[in-house]
A and B are shown apart, each in its own frame.
Chain A
């Protein structure tokens, strides 16, 4: 889902500019020619395979400056993508609603005047991603010298500009781009077969980092990471495996226009070990604080890697938000408490109804804040009201939700202009679905002004569905929902 669904004027102008410029590029429909081979000057993603040669691309020869006929042809062909049974180029965020246990952390209380603005429940980052992180260093906090080493199988990564070798492999070593790392942190990346290693080190220069990494002993299974060599001054302190990460985010705004977001993640990017490396111990876990990027104008944050595995981060959405109250983020973090999905839905439903749509035998009530929908309630003509969280995409182009109604899985979508496409998809993360079934026609829909409201029952054999709306002539955005639990 979009992290900032309401765009300001500058963002809207950027989006309009990019659309206008992209639309100037029209590509002919020459078929792909694998015999053409790779081009000169671009590093192939595959490992080295024979001599390179420069070719004049068939597609390049077919490129023409935008002409109405060619443009219409291209758009018409690509506009068929969602209906194409084998292909889509859609971007969707997967939502898996936890029926039991902790679904996130939200502040129990907020300072006077602060109100809920946005709420995203259950988004899954990096689906299918499994990374191992290992921390080598001392026992002090924060560590004076320490190295965090990540290991992940990734067939798509390449080393862009090797400056050193690590374990005999080309390695890119330089200042870390990690915005929450301490100043002076060094990053080193190298690839062994299809296994990628990323290291983040503090208290060491590039040569020291490379020398230390070379002392690590590779395990039999390359995805299992490393063992520290005997006698090393930086023994292994801890490790973590990060798999599908479940995330809930709430944003609160104050009357002066400031905003703070609270993000709870079941396992953060580093499995909480960056906090162990660069943070300090606190009551609930290791606490990391600073500004994203380290500059005075960057976004301030405070984050805790909790002992229960969750990471909770409170971040000002602009540098001035906490300028007059530097303790605000800590105060908010201190009141953050675990909540269930049910409690989050209740917070959403507590917001006023912003729109009501009659859809055949259903009534759809959308609950929202000043900026987005946060909950949606479905009432059948002869049944109870069922509420769930709502997701917003693309400047309110799409509001959607997923719920069990009398044991039957129902997806609701409210789109602007065109109807949303609702179709089956795979549980695994893939953007190419072999045989999606378009469910849109099986549901009920009602147009109300510019809005189209749809209530779509999902067949029992489907495990996941996508709800999509077009953003450009050949690209779609929306959400993926896994089948909700009973």
Chain B
């Protein structure tokens, strides 16, 4: 691998690994799985660095898709990975209640919520990441918020 490529990859890794792990964690709810998803995403990017133009976009898409795929893992594997432990409740009742509600969302809706309200992405870019029409993003977001509203009202 050319030196310049290595340096650029390392810079991207240093600058974005925390953000990507957080993104994956918000999507999967398991820090261990999130770490694995991000590792795989960076590995895929590393292998294809010279053939990809949009490194940041590729990485984010790989992390989101990897997170969605990881939800299909067996329950036993997820239990095993959970042994590393997760961040505790924040102590803020509203935050902890809302986080519980967010965790009940279907993966695709949760992904739209995280990308919209945490990553602050516009609908068009979310659609590009999730490979769906913008209208699908709007619908998922609309339904996710309706579900959250109901869940919080319980």
Contacts and interface: CB of A to CB of B under 8 A. Distances in A.
19 contacts: A10-B145, A14-B113, A17-B99, A21-B90, A25-B18, A32-B9, A32-B13, A42-B69, A45-B44, A45-B66, A91-B120, A156-B62, A179-B136, A180-B133, A269-B134, A292-B142, A293-B139, A297-B146, A430-B53
Interface residues of B, number: 93
Contacts of B18: 25-27, 74, 78, 474
Interface string A147-161: 000000011111011
A87 B16 contact: yes
> Among the interface residues A44, A84, A86, A179, which one has the most CB atoms of the partner chain B within 10 A?
A179
Contacts of A88: 15, 56
Nearest to A123: B124
Contact of B118 (A19, A89, A125): A19
Contacts of B47: 46, 49
A15 B118 contact: yes
Interface in A1-32: 1-3, 7, 10-11, 13-27, 29, 31-32
What are the 9 A-B residue pairs with the smallest beta carbon separation, nearest first?
A431-B56, A24-B87, A45-B44, A18-B118, A17-B98, A22-B22, A125-B124, A60-B35, A15-B117
Interface stretch (A33-41, A216-224, A352-360, A450-458): A33-41
B108 to A, nearest CB: 8
B16 A89 contact: yes
B95 A16 contact: yes
A40 to B, nearest CB: 8
Contacts of A158: 65, 69
Contacts of A175: none
Contacts of B117: 7, 11, 14-15, 18
A472 B19 CA distance: 9
A428 interface: yes
Interface in A122-142: 123, 125-126, 128-129
Given A14-B145, A21-B87, 4 more contacts: A87-B14, A430-B56, A471-B120, A477-B121
Contacts, number: 258
- Majority-rule SS of B interface residues: helix
Nearest to A431: B56
A417 interface: no
B83 to A, nearest CB: 11
A17 to B, nearest CB: 4
B56 A161 contact: no
Contacts of A17: 94-95, 98-99, 102
B43 interface: yes
Given A126-B124, A179-B135, A431-B57, A293 B11 contact: no
A22 B23 CA distance: 8
A84 B120 contact: no
A169 interface: no
B111 interface: no
A129 to B, nearest CB: 8
B136 A177 contact: yes
Contacts of B142: 292, 298-299
Interface string A75-99: 0011001001011110101000000
A179 to B, nearest CB: 4
A36 B122 contact: no
A20 B90 contact: yes
A177 B43 CA distance: 30
A337 B96 CA distance: 48
Contacts of B99: 17, 21
A59 B39 contact: yes
B122 A93 contact: yes
Contacts of B25: 21-22, 25
B50 interface: no
A242 to B, nearest CB: 11
B90 A27 contact: no
B82 interface: no
Contacts of B36: 39, 41-42, 57, 60
B128 A87 contact: no
Given A14-B102, A34-B43, A41 B139 contact: no
Given A177-B132, A299-B142, A474 B54 contact: no
Nearest to B44: A45
Nearest to A33: B39
B99 to A, nearest CB: 5
A11 B145 contact: yes
A34 B35 contact: no
